[in-house]
Amino acid sequence: MSRHAGSAPTLATVAAEAGVSRQTVSNALNSPELLRPDTLVRVQEAIARLGYSPNRAARSLRTRSSHLVGLRVVPAVEDSANALMDRFVHSLVESTGVAGYHVLLFTGEEDDGGTDPYDALLRSAAVDAFVLTDTFRENPQAARLTRRGVPFVAFGRPWGDARARHPWVDVDGRAGVTLAVEHLVSRGHTRVAWVGWQKGSLIGEDRRSGWVDRMHECGLSTSRLSARGEDTLDFGARAARALLDVSPEDRPTAFLCASDTLAMGVVRAMDGLGLRPGRDLAVVGFDDSIAAQVCTPALTSVRQPLEEVAVEVVRCLGELLAHRPVASPGRVLVPTLSVRATS
């Protein structure tokens, strides 16, 4: 089999070069323990000499697995500090890489008209599985994908559905907020306000419970110290103004927020009132976004261990694709607190 110069080497090329059969070369790559050591060396030398790497399409056609993991990217929201994805995506790519997988990005809404991008990718065998990240907004994605038998691992607990059996990894928001409360209390704060998300938000309520419980455990009151609304800069600012618009002795001395976006809103409102974050009032955010790190004064924030999350997600993915039963459905990781100038 002679091939013209520009063409990439194949199994057959390597086999001829090494003086063995195609399958032996294949074994050298996939089950080297089957070969006699000297044969293995000979094949490996031939591979190196020719600069051969197996054609992914052919391998994928035969084995029915693409070694690709799908990840849907959602439009970045302007004016929102939520740069979680950037960090997570990178960690994920890194983790999947060492596991021999790659990450495939796609977009598209899953309208009910049958043009579900998840389905399309899976049917065409373009990906082996998905990583779901939108669950932190509590959408019904997970349940739908489970119903369709789509293999996936979620970043985020199945909040709404207690009997969901799919694998997931999540960060303990409640514990993160608890850390923040302890930090603020240790700095002498007694009136710590909460600025969070709507009551309907289960994840928001989880984080908030860390505030409520730890405050009470410290013997501190939480009444008239809570505001809940949408996750925007604007709401954060409105909430802060409202919470500060009381008699001096009732004013909070610290703001604990469910997101950096809200915290940035609080800072903006304080600025309008001539108050200085970190000196007059403490502010703590959640997510440890880049904005939190570079703004002035730098924002204290709860940091999610996204790198660990990614590693754990990939581990689950491996189990899932090996058709091993996933031991425990989910795993919760603990965040840390990045203390900066605003507290």
> What does the binding site for DNA look like in residue numbers (CB under 7 A)?
7-8, 10-12, 15, 19-24, 26-27, 29-30, 34-36, 39-40, 52, 54-55, 58-59, 61-64
Q: Tell whether residue 249 is a contact of a copy of itself (CB under 8 A).
A: no
Least Å from the CB of residue 242 to a copy of itself: 18
- The interface partner of residue 24, options being a copy of itself, DNA, none and the CB cut-off 5 to 8 Å by kind, is DNA
Contact with a copy of itself (CB under 8 A) among 14, 47, 68, 240 = 68
Q: Is the preceding peptide bond at 297 cis, omega within 30 degrees of 0? A: yes
Contact with a copy of itself (CB under 8 A) among 16, 52, 118, 197 = 52
- The interface partner of residue 226, options being DNA, a copy of itself, none and the CB cut-off 5 to 8 Å by kind, is none
Best CA proximity match to 295, nearest among 233, 238, 230, 253: 233
Minimum CB distance to DNA smaller for 126 or for 339: 126
- The interface partner of residue 93, options being a copy of itself, DNA, none and the CB cut-off 5 to 8 Å by kind, is a copy of itself
Minimum CB distance to DNA smaller for 38 or for 78: 38
Q: For the chain, what is the HEC assignment?
A: CCCCCCCCCCHHHHHHHHCCCHHHHHHHHHCHHHCCHHHHHHHHHHHHHHCCCCCHHHHHHHHCCCCEEEEECCCCCCCCCCCHHHHHHHHHHHHHHHCCCEEEEECCCCCCCCCCHHHHHHHCCCCCEEEECHHHHCCCHHHHHHHCCCCEEEECCCCCCCCCCCCEEEECHHHHHHHHHHHHHHCCCCCEEEEEECCCCHHHHHHHHHHHHHHHHCCCCCCCCEEEECCCHHHHHHHHHHHHCCCHHHCCCEEEECCHHHHHHHHHHHHHCCCCECCCEEEEEECCCHHHHHCCCCCEEEECCHHHHHHHHHHHHHHHHCCCCCCCCEEEECCEEECCCCC
Q: Tell whether residue 291 is a contact of a copy of itself (CB under 8 A).
A: yes
Contact with a copy of itself (CB under 8 A) among 34, 41, 61, 273 = 61
- The interface partner of residue 26, options being DNA, a copy of itself, none and the CB cut-off 5 to 8 Å by kind, is DNA
Q: Tell whether residue 113 is a contact of a copy of itself (CB under 8 A).
A: no
Distances (CA, A) of 101 to 15, 82, 94, 156, 308: 26, 27, 10, 22, 17
- Contact (Cβ atoms closer than 8 angstroms) between residue 135 and residue 173: no
- The interface partner of residue 34, options being a copy of itself, DNA, none and the CB cut-off 5 to 8 Å by kind, is DNA
Minimum CB distance to DNA smaller for 121 or for 258: 121
Q: Tell whether residue 332 is a contact of a copy of itself (CB under 8 A).
A: no
Minimum CB distance to a copy of itself smaller for 11 or for 185: 11
- The interface partner of residue 108, options being DNA, a copy of itself, none and the CB cut-off 5 to 8 Å by kind, is a copy of itself
Least Å from the CB of residue 60 to DNA: 9
Q: What gap in Å lies between CA 162 and CA 167, rounded to an integer?
A: 13
Q: Which amino acid appears at position 162 of this protein?
A: A
Least Å from the CB of residue 92 to a copy of itself: 8
- The interface partner of residue 84, options being DNA, a copy of itself, none and the CB cut-off 5 to 8 Å by kind, is none
- The interface partner of residue 29, options being a copy of itself, DNA, none and the CB cut-off 5 to 8 Å by kind, is DNA
List of residues contacting a copy of itself (CB under 8 A): 8, 51-58, 60-61, 66, 68, 73-76, 78-81, 83, 85-87, 89-90, 93-94, 97, 102-108, 114, 120, 123-126, 233, 260-261, 264, 267-268, 271, 289-291, 293-297
